[in-house]
Amino acid sequence: MEHFAETATEKWNTLIRDLPGAHALQTSQWGAVKSRFGWEPHQLLWRGNTGEVTAAALVLQRRLSSSPFAPHLGVMYTPRGPLLDWQDPALVDQVLRDLEQFARKNNAIFIKIDPDLPLGFGVPGEATAKDHPIGLRVQQTLSDLGWTFSDEQIQFKNTVVIDLRQDKEAMLMRMKSKTRYNIRLAQRRGVTVRVGSLDDVNRLYRMYAHTAVRDDFLIRKEAYYQSVWRTFIAEGMAEPLIAEVEGQPVGAVVIFRFAGRAWYFYGMSLDEHREKMFNYRLQWEAMLHAKAAGCHAYDMWGAPDEFHKEDPLWGVYRFKGGFCGQVVRTLGAWDFPTRPLIYRLYNQILPRILGWMRKRGKTATQRRLNT
């Protein structure tokens, strides 16, 4: 029988590093960043009878009400967690039930989880596609226990993962010929890539804001990215790579690393010199840097929910697909409503709030760029 308890320890990263699915978004650094923006981090551990850690979850809690006439309601989110051996049905059942009780105890309207657990691999309908029986079994368990697939998917449900365990030449030969060509073309046309530092964070944000306005996606205020990037770069857990042409930055990526895995969380580019294919060179260098740092997998972070041309991520997927990684289709985010009525009202109101935020956010980002 596992013993469950909330803890607060500086050794958190060490305790979770070897758990299945260990993720940068479950680290103490991520909890520290989110605590600066209205979230309270909780470190939850499950231990076996001999004291070994069998499961863990960094749970983020946000209070929604401070009225003295009503409970201090809030929401809970476990980004890319919980971490555990999903092949153990008894452990899965206990962790899910403990999370439900933890949410009730802390007056959460719901608790959201989105573990990095595959449901299948490959593009559905293609000959190489296959299901992952463990993920499918957990999906059924969640449904049986009263969890519901969330209308609010915070992270990308599907992704493309590159195996870094092959040598450099084998990695290149695995790619599509056009992708290999564009990597080499960028080098011939004078694209260089350097490792960035904390001194580059302001420049990174301006490029990211420019990208958001051009490609029409919502980003947060500058202080948020300053906090995320500075925290992880300072800890050696993130590395910015900056593409330059004749000494001028034209694009960048920020790669996060933890527990032998790397993630392409942030990418940004200017409009100049795009014909020089610097984005291909950036991705290749990111893979090589991750491999040199001891990572065995490079997660390109994001693939379509539905693999057809109408999906908003189809164009991005075509670019990533050229590197010929493995498509991984994960469980996605699931909610356990502890207050079902309020949960339904929350889900009705949230889309309107997000729509207003997107419209306001794009205008504000453009304003910051202009100043």
Range of 215's domain?
Answer: 165-295
Number of other CB atoms surrounding residue 234 within 10 Å = 11
Asked if residue 36 belongs to a domain, the reply is yes
Mean pLDDT across 94-109: 97
Q: Which two tokens stand for residue 128?
A: 């190489």
At 23-55, the pLDDT tens digits run 999 999 999 999 999 999 999 999 999 999 999
Residues 177 and 286 grouped into a single domain: yes
The partner residues of 76 in beta bridges, in order of sequence, read 61, 111
CATH for 347: 3.40.630.30
Mean pLDDT across 156-177: 97
How far apart (Å, rounded) are the C-alpha atoms in residues 261 and 229? 18
How far apart (Å, rounded) are the C-alpha atoms in residues 281 and 350? 39
Mean pLDDT across 94-118: 97
Residues 22 and 141 grouped into a single domain: yes
Alpha-carbon torsion 27, 28, 31, 33, what sign? negative
pLDDT at 67: 47
At 262-275, the pLDDT tens digits run 999 999 999 999 99
Residues 244 and 193 grouped into a single domain: yes
CB 200 within 8 Å of CB 242: yes
Asked if residue 97 belongs to a domain, the reply is yes
pLDDT at 360: 59
Asked if residue 288 belongs to a domain, the reply is yes
Residues 26 and 148 grouped into a single domain: yes
Residues 145 and 189 grouped into a single domain: no
Structure-token match 């996060």, residue found: 256
Q: Which two tokens stand for residue 119?
A: 């449901």
Residues 207 and 268 grouped into a single domain: yes
How far apart (Å, rounded) are the C-alpha atoms in residues 318 and 176? 11
Asked if residue 149 belongs to a domain, the reply is yes
Residues 18 and 57 grouped into a single domain: yes
How far apart (Å, rounded) are the C-alpha atoms in residues 159 and 287? 16
pLDDT at 281: 98
Residues 138 and 184 grouped into a single domain: no
Q: Which distant-in-sequence residues (6+ apart) come within 8 Å of 5 by Cβ?
A: 44, 45, 47
At 281-295, the pLDDT tens digits run 999 999 999 999 999
Asked if residue 302 belongs to a domain, the reply is no
Asked if residue 291 belongs to a domain, the reply is yes
CB 59 within 8 Å of CB 76: yes
Q: Name the nearest CA neighbour of 44 among 100, 89, 88.
A: 100
Q: Within 13 Å of residue 68, how many CA atoms lie on the same side as its CB?
A: 0
pLDDT at 352: 64
> Lowest-pLDDT range, 7-16, 57-66, 121-130, 167-176?
57-66
Q: Which distant-in-sequence residues (6+ apart) come within 8 Å of 170 by Cβ?
A: none
Helical axes 89-105 vs 133-144, angle rounded to 10°: 40
CB 354 within 8 Å of CB 154: no
Q: Work out how many domains the chain is built from and give that number.
A: 2
